[in-house]
Amino acid sequence: MTSPNSLREAVVDILPSVRADLEALVRIPSVSADPDRAADVRRCAEATAELFAAEGLDVQILTASGGAPAVVARSPAPEGAPTVLLYAHHDVQPIGNLADWDSEPFEPTERDGRLYGRGAADDKAGIAAHLAALRVHRAHRGALPVGVTVFVEGEEEVGSPTLAPFLDEHHDLLAADVIVIADSTNWDVGVPALTTSLRGLVDVIVEVSTLEHGVHSGLYGGVVPDAVTALVRLLTTLHDDRGNVAVKGLVSGPAADVDYPEDRLRDEAAILDGVQLIGEGSVVQRLWTKPAIATVALDTTRIADASNTLIPSVRAEISLRLAPGDSTESAMRCLTEHLTSNAPWGARVDVTPGGSVAEPSVIEADGPAYDAARAAFREAWDGTDPVDIGVGGSIPFIAAFQEAFPEAAVLVTGVEDPDTRAHGVNEGLHLQEFERVCLAEALLLSNLAPDSA
């Protein structure tokens, strides 16, 4: 049996090489949403494959249904040991406005204990954490204590559109007793977490039209409704006066008894002074187990191009996060019915499904695998117990894994913390937390071995 202290020392020894590998991956601009970056996505898959091949795993780069390249690396299980699937993704979000970054997004840069760069956390640090756990065991004992399959996807940031056929086509290759998904967050710096619920997601494009073409606002204003004003009135029907979602038929549920102070929320979300929070219920209930609706985009005339014209037609993208226990089919129907039945002034309202669909997930985090994970986290974080948390965001593939491998224990872990700023500018990885994540995963593999008792 491998002692925690010896693994802790081994992590310290291998961490510089793991960080160097992580930085090399960050330098590859593997933006899956940009067709012009397809070659970079392929290059990142190849670089990832080389890293795990160097650790002695049997590596393949695979696709399904024309999707982005994924890496599957395998090491067979010792006699009597379980197989653990380690998931991460090598694609990243676009950078947004380059001018808002404090350093080059694809040149990893350390500042104040964080490593900044696009993908430095989400989710190339997940790849690096898996790499570290394997490297620690190979360096320390020359072999892995359990069977390991590493699955590094290449299209998570565009909604994993071909994951379902990938899991179907390569089902036997990916079958495992325990699935570790390193793509979530910890509760705070110094406090680990296991994610046990996630909201789902649907979005729609709503187009509101009032005129066949634009007309003079002076000649017709006051009698003829413009499309922008009609849209605004429609959008206000989505919430009541307290900010609760007002769409009938959506599911809400109770949340874990976890304290999330309002001042912490305000700081982490960068809420402006004087802006009130919306909705009712505890903070974690509103974030984790109640629906949320936001208007995330508008198509209308730019201010620079404006004239005194009543705008005839306008479009908005509306994003709906649905609570665990709901379904995307039901939520889409409820949202569509609400929008079409609340058209102001007889305006024409057309609703088209958007491109985002993710089922909500609930994980019953009980049993030997979860006990092994909690013990590993407690050791890695020097006696701090992990918090079971929900996540208000959506990870579409978790429901897909649960459906494909219903007998497997699914552990959703993370390399992020509340100030990681994943998807935003100045995304950064807390390096001390990353060291704990690497140790926790190495300990988890030891704890899952049959000789760990």
Give the DSSP H or E segment for 163: helix 163-169
Report the alpha-carbon distance of residue 421 to residue 268 in Å, rounded.
9
Give the DSSP H or E segment for 448: helix 431-448
Report the alpha-carbon distance of residue 407 to residue 87 in Å, rounded.
17
> Per the residue annotation, which of 40, 55, 122, 156 is the catalytic one?
156
Residue type present at position 382 = D
Are the beta carbons of 445 and 182 closer than 8 angstroms?
Answer: no
Rounding to the nearest 10 degrees, give the CA dihedral for residues 412, 363, 285, 157.
40
Cβ-in-10-Å burial (0-12, 13-18, 19+) of 320 comes to buried
Residue 63, φ and ψ in degrees, nearest 5: -140, 170
Does 156 qualify as catalytic in the annotation?
A: yes
Rounding to the nearest 10 degrees, give the CA dihedral for residues 425, 426, 431, 437.
0
In the three-class reduction of DSSP (H, G, I as helix; E, B as strand; rest coil), residue 290 is classed as: coil
58-62 and 70-75 beta bridge pairing: antiparallel
E strand residue ranges, 259-408: 292-299, 309-310, 313-322, 348-358, 361-362, 387-391
> Per the residue annotation, which of 21, 55, 91, 416 is the catalytic one?
91
Give the DSSP H or E segment for 4: helix 4-26
Please calculate the CA angle 235-241-245 and round it to the nearest 5 degrees: 60
In the three-class reduction of DSSP (H, G, I as helix; E, B as strand; rest coil), residue 265 is classed as: helix
Does 91 qualify as catalytic in the annotation?
A: yes
Q: Which residues are catalytic?
A: 91, 156
